[in-house]
Amino acid sequence: MTIDSRTGRLRVSIILEWANTTLNGVPRAQVLLDILRRQWEAMVRRDYPADLPVDAARFLPSLDERAEILVVSGNAVGAEEEKEIRQHIPDCFDLGIHVGEGLEYYALKNFGAELAGGDILLFLDSDVHPDAGWLVHLLGSFARPEIHAVAGEPYVGPTDTFAAAFALGWTYQLPGESGRLELGRKIYANNIAFRADTFRCTRFAALGRRTRGACSLLARQLERLGRPIWTNTRARVDHPPPSGLRHLAVRALAHGRDMYMTRSEDRNLYGLFTSQAVAGQRLARGLANTARHWRRVGLRPWHLPAVVSIIGTYYALFALGGLLTHVSPIAMGRRFRV
């Protein structure tokens, strides 16, 4: 890492993609900005949680007390929306709002990284809400020199029956209690940080017809370079479930398509088999989680039929997405850009 010549400290750049506000709303992103402000100010005051490792507490004061936030959007940000963003950004952040016209999820993150001047690049989705202590645990991970990239742990907060179904049956696990830095976990791009030189030697891969999967490709690239991505299970973020039945259908169909295209974005029997097999496996896992953990997410016995129906519907549409992709990869690649 380089050192900021003005302060002698490491600079943090927070790259906040704004695309998810189209589905989950600007107010949710404003709450995220408020959480960021509180957590950054607590870190600067050295008001650390009791479970922060000693080496992390020693490392964090080496960070510059000013960070930059780069809001990156694939669509124009209106004057009123920009005003609202600025109202939620305190003086401890240098704010930039940038439009990469037509860019999608991973391309927006790469776009933000090109503009960033920090030594640590922290990528954050606009729809997640970090738990207490998330920021210091995630950034404190870099106290260990062997760590070049670290992800937080997303989960779905079971705020109602619909959300509980996704907490139990979607791609994210229920939040763990291990509190460890771990290798070998599934990595997500919605809250992940890199040493800047490490990210820039790879970047998120360009995807053609898929909309998700570049984070897994990046993780494999970095592993080959001897710089695997770690997960800090103390750094947790609450990720919302789909924002309604239409969003559920779009996400599930896209999920099935992207699973089909894992090996090839053209028609192939392997993709067809994989998409159907994974849909069945994920359905079975979701039902098993429901049987074991329904009390943990606050459900009552009379909620279970609805939860099973929601999980079943999602994976039926997941399987359908794989089947439709086998019929026409080109048509499916044009639709369901989430």
250 in Cβ contact with 338 (< 8 Å): yes
pLDDT tens profile 34-92? 999 999 999 999 999 999 999 999 999 999 999 999 999 998 888 888 888 888 887 88
pLDDT tens profile 254-283? 999 999 999 999 999 999 999 999 999 999
pLDDT tens profile 169-204? 999 999 876 678 999 788 999 999 999 999 999 999
CA distance 243 to 322: 22
Distances (CA, A) of 246 to 146, 242, 243, 277, 327: 43, 8, 8, 24, 22
> Quick one: DSSP state of residue 25?
-
Cα dihedral 56/57/63/68 (nearest 10): 80
Helices (H) and strands (E) in the chain, counts: 13, 9
CA distance 194 to 127: 20
Model confidence, pTM: 0.94
Helix 245-260 vs helix 269-293: crossing angle, to nearest 10? 130
CA distance 191 to 236: 9
> Quick one: DSSP state of residue 174?
P
How confident is the model at residue 177, as a pLDDT? 67
CA distance 128 to 191: 8
Lowest mean pLDDT among 159-163, 257-261, 278-282, 334-338: 334-338
The neighbouring-strand residues paired with 182 are 231
Mean pLDDT across 149-169: 97
Q: H or E element: which one contains 21?
A: helix 21-24
Between the two ends of the chain, the Cα-to-Cα distance in Å is: 34
